[in-house]
Amino acid sequence: MNIRLLWRERVLIGLLISSGVVLALLSDVFLTPANLLRATRYAAEIGLVALPMTMIIISRGIDLSVASNMALSAMAMGLLWQRGLPIWPAVAIGVVTGTLAGWLNGWVIARVRVPAIVVTLATLAVYRGIATGLSGGTGILGFPESFLALGAGTVAGIPVQTVIWIAGIVIAAVFLTRTTNGRYIYGIGHNETALRFSGIAVDRIVLGLYTASGFVAALAGMIYAARVGTAKSNAAAGYELSIITAVVLGGTSLAGGEGTLVGTVLGVLILTILQNGLTLARVPAAMQDVLIGTVLLAAVLTYRERPMRKEVSAQSTSQPAPRRAAGRAMSDPENTLAAGEERRKP
Amino acid sequence: MRERGRELTIVAALAMLSGYLSLTQANFRDAFTISTILTNAAYVAVVGIGMTIVIVAGQIDISVGSMLAVCALITGTLARAGVPMPLVVLASLLLGLGMGALNGALVAYLRVPSIIVTLATLTVLRGAIVWWTKGYWVMPLPPGWKVLGTTHLLGLPLPVWIGWAAVLAASILLAHTVFGREIYAAGSHPQAAQLNGIDTARVTFWVFALNGLLVGLATMLHVTRFSMVQTQEGLGLEFLVITAVVVGGTNIFGGSGTVMGTYLGVLLLTVTSSALTFLGISATWDQAIRGAFILVAVTADIVRTGQWRQPVGWA
Amino acid sequence: MRYRQAFALTLTLALLMGLAGPGQAQKALKIFMIPKFTGAAYFAATEKGAKDAVAELKGRGVAIDFLYTGPSVANTDEEIRMIDDLVAQKPDAIIISANDAEALVPVAKKAKAAGIKVITYDADVADPTARHWFVNQGTFTLVGAALVDVVAEQAGKNARFAVVSADPGAFNQNSWIAAMKDRVAKKYPAMKLVDIRYGLDKPAESFSVAQDLINKYRGQLDAIIAPTSVALPKVAEAAEQAGLAGKIVVTGLSTPNDMREFVKKGTVKTVVLWNPVDLGYLAIYVAHATITGALKEGMAKQSVQAGRLGTREATAQLNDITAKGPLTLRNVILLGAPFRFTKENIDRFNF
Amino acid sequence: MTEALLQLRGITKRFPGVLALDGVDFALTAGEVHALVGENGAGKSTLIKIISGVHQPDAGRIDYLGTPVTFPTPRAAADRGITVIYQEVALFPDLTVLENLYVGAYPRRPLLRHSGRGRRVDWMAMRARAQDVAASLGVKLDLEAPVHRLSAAQQQLVEIARALLRDARVIIMDEPTGPLTQQDAARLFSLIRQLRSRGVGIIYISHRLEEIFEVADRLTVLRDGRRIVAMPVGETTREMLIHHMVGRTLDTLYPHTARQTGPPVLEVEGLGTSGALTDVSFTLGRGEILGLAGLVGSGRTTLARAIFGIVPPGRGRIKLDGVDARIAHAGRARELGIAYVPEERQRQGLVLPFSVSENLSLVILRRLSRLGFINHASERTVAHDVVRRLDIRTPGIGVPAATLSGGNQQKVVVGKWLAAQPRVLIMDEPTRGVDVGAKAEIHRLMSELAGRGLAILLISSELPELLGMSDRIMVMHRGRIAGELSRDQATQEKIMAMATGVA
């Protein structure tokens, strides 16, 4: 876990700098501190949620329900506040709601072992659906200034949510690269079974990851509500795709085990400055979509050429890694009884 | 025998839901209601066939909605320019095939993960549509346009029959042809497939191309029912179709799944959606109920089959 | 294989360069117009009107750097972000159609605080102090009443009708529905709104929801109102395919171009709408008058000279009905009463 | 001697940085079982891959059936009748047995009756021919069962049947007995003899020397990419063979030293899990190596996993140093000082892309950290220490475990558990797929550990290993302890009799 940058991270830095230069040429406003700082307000929400998402994807999982969870927890907060609860207790309960929603994802994934993509595809609908149902679709507004500062205020000239994001990046990076659980997350992504056979509580870590994802999504939901000054069930619609795009652009492999937070942060920044700079350069939104899709493809194409540790590349030259190990012992009758173990099929 | 558990579960759920609706809602058991449900399911099912094949092969395609919109708008434009309908249909198929082949080439030969490729094409194609049409719908369309979509045969519209034929043909393709079996092999264990001389890259390429072709077909079944082509066509289609495939019992990680399961999944989702209207369930709770329904269905199936002892992870 | 990386970067750079917009004009007034989304003929019509006005003003020696841009699909977050980005360019005025009345308040306020004249059109923001003027195409009350009146005229005063709306959270939609309910309560007590369903502004969903309604209430439904342009043609289509064309009243909000065929066939006898070209046209004049100081917030008895439209009165207060109950609109410029497009007059309009 | 079926001359293959094969000659005649032996890295796999068309030689020629050939792809080799049965199974878990027999070579028939090219899978023909082959082998195959339901032995049968269905003239078997029990292995050998009598040429690769003497006719020894010797099996002895392979003389493969067994460390009383284990009781003493024999499915691995907490606890009690232990999960077992070296090294034992040091610290990571923060310095110290103690041959502690040879990988697995300083070490097939040199080292390590008081439970399907290493042997049959033999009493025959329920 060195500070040394990976190949793909260098590609991203190159991309960030070169697009920065081009955008600065296209718009005189782009390269001003005020503009860039302002842009980070938008980066912060996506960037925060992308932190646990990176870890989840490293562990070979995915959480598609984050944006819905943002809406749900903001809605819970808004409804309680509307019914007379003071704002900060309401925020606390909202965050707890999101954390519980994340925990529920984790519980079904880790304990019932429904694939994460299926669980969170369903809760994507469920969480937003509950938010819509509870509110009847109408927004709640009129929050006190103290709360709105979370989304619109500044600390020493830097937007509040950017400060929170930076703190989140530091905490997440330290966690992922320096702690035992961070190490285990990579291990789970590479070979969950080996971790189980090393006496590591894989289920608990997975549960923790999705719970953390719920917590951070709830936090981002609060920031979102504070920024737009309203709690609404259609809040942050479609954010999950932006978040996953940023993580993937950052070089995290959906096959698990590979990925860094540096990459994710760079991915978020690139998407942010592209959107910001292209809008300033008066490029129509439809064309921005085309361009961002192309950048994503082009970047991921260059990753394939990255010099990797030798044997890993030797294994993965031909095809994506086997999604499921297929070994004889898997069907060994003894193994079918092993809890938490490799019986793949009905 | 191949396992039919999930199919039976869905048939039971469908029977219960439709049975209840038929008993309580006289208008539900009406032939026209059933015909509309089948028709609305037909094009989703055809996209679902392609998606099933892609997922069985161990891949995913989330660009289907955007591809459908592209096919719809371009064929509409062609029809307006006076191109005869048979050629328009052919154009839709070829256009779908071409876009699918592009996805396929990027996945199979440039080896970019399919979710990334199709995420990119989803965005790029949708952006291109708005850029090109500036939001103007394609209309008016010539009189021949709606022939395919609205002609009835034995009381059912043509799209239903074509959809059934496609389900049947795809079932045969998957179950009984060499190419079909190679798709399962490639999705089940790609390395072993290569060792057995299966050109997995070729299979992957053609799977995406076929999916594109089916989207082209689905486009024709869908938009020829209407007298205009709207730019918003296909929005969110990928979500609906992937849900149907998963509900239909196809393993999201590849290697197993049936087209029949997917068809039943599509029917179940279509009937559920109509049921909300028929039962007068508040539309604001719509999404929550549908989501919970999927979660419960899939979880129950996994618990039922003991699959829940699988390792965690999705890919 | 570094060349591959170099290639990717070069490609990206080339694309970026190629896409650069035209250089900003010098010393012109900067007016930015941000619709809900650019992918709709309705908004394209407002753009057309706006450009007409810009050209007229130019003819009178007022140089305007005009930009029409917005999200590619209806997306609140993208719209907020775009407005925020565009405000950084310090335009003289921005003209916004809000995807979300509430969520756009902060960004509108921010623009206003930065000294930019903020005009809303088509869809207002929830807080009138967040903008200078709202160019109103016709109040919810007027539009809702017009729709219900069409149903009453064509299906009778005890008609049973349903609504196919867009999204349960759409403020405009909900407000029109509220206004419809109000009209029914006040003028047609025997009429009944039996069901409200949502097509999420997706064509296929709108179509199947319309079919479900028709199938469920077979013979017991006299009319369907679709106050959204995506759903209206699909509702008409559903009625035709159920063999109910002309037997069930279909009406709603849409443009003459989009509905021309249905109106000519008679499936839809009346489409209600204002003139979006005029709406965009008026918005530019209002923006210009606000910049020059001809229009001042809060002052009673003002008016704006709007070229070919003549004079429009600026109203300090206007009562309306919304999804959240009665509301007094402040600082409004009303385009006029909603217009009914029928077989007789539809060919006179091209938008 | 009959004419060669397959003749390789002067085969050379170079990979970046390595000369994998250096002018190797090899000949296989029809109806011969030809063993290919050598340590890991000797070049066996490369040679097989060249024969089967996975790799192309840089120099040298291959004659097959008397004519020079090149196989550009595995498919080309398979089409000419050369089949490989890989160590790692190459079957499709989702597909049925019938289908697995034919994947890649389906009998075809036209889509419609007279439509020319065959695109349709001819299930009828498939079924008929599969039944013929099964009958000729004298085995029963449930053709409609999905392969993931089959046992290891059944899966191997599928592979052999598949080779025969493709009219294989040459069958290459890479460590075929790895996952098999003694009994299944015996059945495999009789099958191999049957194939031989049909004129099939078999290239047989195994680290288990006794098998080579049992089944092979000739052998070729490779070392460092060169052919050392090729001769009939009858002309050599075990010791000579090891000498050829290792290039030096090994003292002994089974270094058993006389030890005093101390007081019981692990006491198992009446252990049972639903269906798989019934009333299992035994004790394991300090410094004792207790062998555990039994057929696959007899409950050996389940027993190990129940003690280690991976199989949920059922009835019975487990005591450690006389204290009742409730082992609800593997983490608890680890805390209590139980270590488990699992049977599948690569899948269960290692995180292959992780470095050697990351693998070595996996189990004790929490101990190497404060407040959850890893102390990288002490992690490195521990790793260096284990690498030195176990003589793990690796370019450095930072290289991925995947780059190591099988034997050294196994030492990493053992090492990561030794770092945890366990009281009880359970080793499940510790030397499977490990070459003879590393095997001897692992055995020496076991003796040494036992000598220092560690209690070891050794599970092995290789009876010579059990007999050579254990102080005592316990035999399981159908989830029960069928009997126990002291080191002096135990013989292969007695163990097999107990394991099969005859005794």
- β-partners of residue D28 are D6
Name the D residues in 331-350 with CB < 8 Å from any A CB: 331-335, 340, 342-344, 347-350
The overall average pLDDT reported for chain A is 85
Q: Cis ω on the peptide bond leading into residue D57 (within 30° of 0)?
A: no
Amino acid making up residue A18: S
Q: With DSSP H G I counted as helix, E B as strand and the rest as coil, what are the percentages for chain B, rounded to 5?
A: 75, 0, 25
The whole-number average pLDDT for the span D244-261 is 78
pLDDT digits (tens, 9 = 90+) for D119-130: 788 888 889 988
Same domain, D103 and D37: yes
Instruction: Say which of A59, A136, A339 has its CB closest to residue B309.
Output: A339
| Shortest distance, CA D483 to any CA of chain A (angstroms) | 20
Residue D240, pLDDT score: 85
Tell whether domain A7-306 is in CATH 1.10.3470.10.
yes
Tokens of B5: 């558990």
Q: What is the pLDDT of residues B9-51, one digit of tens each?
A: 889 889 999 999 999 988 898 889 999 999 999 999 999 999 9
Kindly state the tokens that stand for D446: 């076991």
**pLDDT tens-digit readout, A172-198:** 999 999 999 999 999 999 999 999 999
Instruction: Give the domain CATH number at C110.
Output: 3.40.50.2300
Q: Which of A59, A177, A328, A330 to mutate to test the interface with D (most CBs of D within 10 A)?
A: A328
Assess whether C265 and C322 both reside in one domain: no
Task: Catalogue the E-assigned strands of D42-117.
Answer: 59-64, 67-69, 82-85, 108-110
Which of C5, C11, C81 has its CB closest to that of A275? C81
Q: Is residue D267 included in any domain, yes or no? A: no
Helix (H, G, I), strand (E, B) or coil at C278: helix
Residue B309 has pLDDT above 80, yes or no: no
Inform me whether the pLDDT recorded for A321 exceeds 50.
no
Which of B179, B194, B255 is closest, CB to CB, to D94? B255
Of residues C82 and A318, more confidently modeled:
C82
Domain count, chain D: 3
Closest Cα of chain A to D322: distance in Å? 23
CA distance C109 to C126: 11
User: Chains touching chain A at 3 or more Cβ pairs under 8 angstroms?
Assistant: B, C, D
Residue C211 lies in a domain: yes
C-alpha D399, offset from chain centre = 24
- The interface predicted TM-score (ipTM) is 0.87
Q: Which of A35, A283, A317 to mutate to test the interface with C (most CBs of C within 10 A)?
A: A283
For D464, residues 6+ apart whose C-beta sits below 8 A from its C-beta are D210, D254, D492
**Are residues D17 and D43 part of one domain?**
yes
Give the total number of structural domains in chain C.
2
pLDDT at D366 over 70: yes
- The answer to whether residues C216 and C263 belong to one domain is yes
**Do D15 and D95 sit in the same domain of this protein?**
yes
- Of D420, D454, D476, the one marking the end of a domain is D420
Q: Shortest CB distance from C216 goes to which of B27, B40, B131?
A: B27
Show me where the domains of chain B are located.
38-266
Interface test with D, best of B177, B178, B258 (most D CBs within 10 A): B178
D197 to chain A, minimum CA–CA distance in Å?
Answer: 28
Interface probe for A, chosen from D88, D295, D351, D432 (most Cβ of A below 10 Å), is D351
Judging contacts by C-beta atoms under 8 Å, the chain B residues touching residue D101 are none
Q: Does some domain include residue C36?
A: yes
What pLDDT sits at residue B307? 53
A54: number of Cβ within 10 Å = 29
CB C276 within 8 A of CB C351: yes
Q: What residues of D are in contact with residue A196 (Cβ under 8 Å)?
A: 310, 330
**C175 chain-A contacts, CB cut-off 8 A:** none
Q: Is the same domain home to D387 and D429?
A: no
Note down the domain range covering C189: 140-273
Q: Is the confidence at residue D371, as pLDDT, over 70? A: yes
Residues D416 and D439 both lie in one domain:
no
- Among chain D residues, the shortest Cα distance to A333 is held by D297
Residues C203 and C125 reside in one and the same domain: no
- The residues pairing with C332 across neighbouring beta strands, listed in sequence order, are C134, C315
Residue linked to tokens 């004249």: C117
What whole-number distance in Å separates Cα of residue B223 and Cα of residue B228? 8
Residue B254 pLDDT > 60: yes
Inter-CA distances, A154 with A40, A150, A159, C115, C130, Å? 12, 8, 4, 20, 21
Contact C204 B40 (CB under 8 A): yes
pLDDT at A332 > cutoff 50: no
Q: Do chains C and D have 3 or more beta-carbon pairs under 8 angstroms?
A: no
Q: Which of A123, A245, A286 sits opposite B127 (nearest CB)?
A: A286
Put simply, whether B286 touches C (Cβ < 8 Å) is yes
Domain range for D391 is: 352-420
Q: Chains touching chain C at 3 or more Cβ pairs under 8 angstroms?
A: A, B
User: CB D93 to CB B189 under 8 A?
Assistant: yes
Residue B287 binned pLDDT confidence (cut-offs 50, 70, 90):
confident
Q: What is the pTM of this model?
A: 0.88
Say if strands D472-477 and D289-294 run parallel, antiparallel, or are unpaired.
parallel
Residues C146, C266: one domain?
Answer: yes
Is there a contact between B116 and A318 if contact means CB atoms under 8 Å apart? no
Contacting residues of C for B120, CB less than 8 Å apart: none
* Residue B24 forms contact with C (CB below 8 Å): no
Confidence at residue C328, expressed as pLDDT on a 0 to 100 scale: 87
Average pLDDT, chain C: 89
Same domain, D235 and D87: yes
User: Chain A within 8 Å of D294 (Cβ-Cβ)?
Assistant: no
**Which residues make Cβ contacts (< 8 Å) with residue C127, sequence separation at least 6?**
C105, C108, C109
Q: How many residues does chain C have?
A: 351
Residues C67 and C154 in one domain: no
Which residues neighbour C287 within 8 Å (Cβ) at sequence distance 6 or greater?
C31, C92, C93, C95, C117, C119
Cβ–Cβ < 8 Å for C38, A286: yes
Cα separation of D390 and D345, whole Å? 17
C190, part of any domain: yes
Residue D175's CATH number: 3.40.50.300
The DSSP element (H or E) to which C313 belongs, if any, is strand C310-322
Q: What is the residue extent of each domain of chain A?
A: 7-306
**What tens digit of pLDDT does each residue of D412-450 get?**
999 999 999 999 999 999 988 788 888 888 999 999 999
- The reply to whether C45 and C132 lie within a common domain is yes
Q: Which residues in chain C are closer than 8 Å to B237, comparing Cβ atoms?
A: 204
C-alpha–C-alpha distance, residues C142 and C144, integer Å:
6
* Residue A312's pLDDT band (cuts 50, 70, 90): very low
d(CA B161, CA A255): 40
State the pLDDT at residue C73.
83
Q: Which of D48, D92, D142, D174 to mutate to test the interface with B (most CBs of B within 10 A)?
A: D92
Q: Say whether both C165 and C313 belong to one domain.
A: no
Percent of chain D exceeding pLDDT 90 equals: 42
Which residues from D are below 8 Å from A194, CB to CB? 347-351, 362
Going by their DSSP bridges, the two strands D218-223 and A140-141 should be labelled as unpaired
Q: Based on the fold, state whether residues D202 and D229 are members of the same structural domain.
A: yes
Asked if residue C155 lies in contact with residue C217, where contact means CB atoms within 8 angstroms, the answer is: no
A-chain CB neighbours of D150 within 8 Å are 331
Looking at beta carbons, which residues of chain B come within 8 Å of D123?
176
Which comes out higher in pLDDT, residue B66 or A28? B66
Judged by average pLDDT, the poorest of B25-39, B66-80, B232-246, B300-314 is: B300-314
Q: Of the ranges A326-335, B253-262, C191-200, D350-359, which one carries the lowest mean pLDDT score?
A: A326-335
Taking the C-alpha atoms of residue C30 and residue C87, their distance in angstroms, rounded to an integer, is: 11
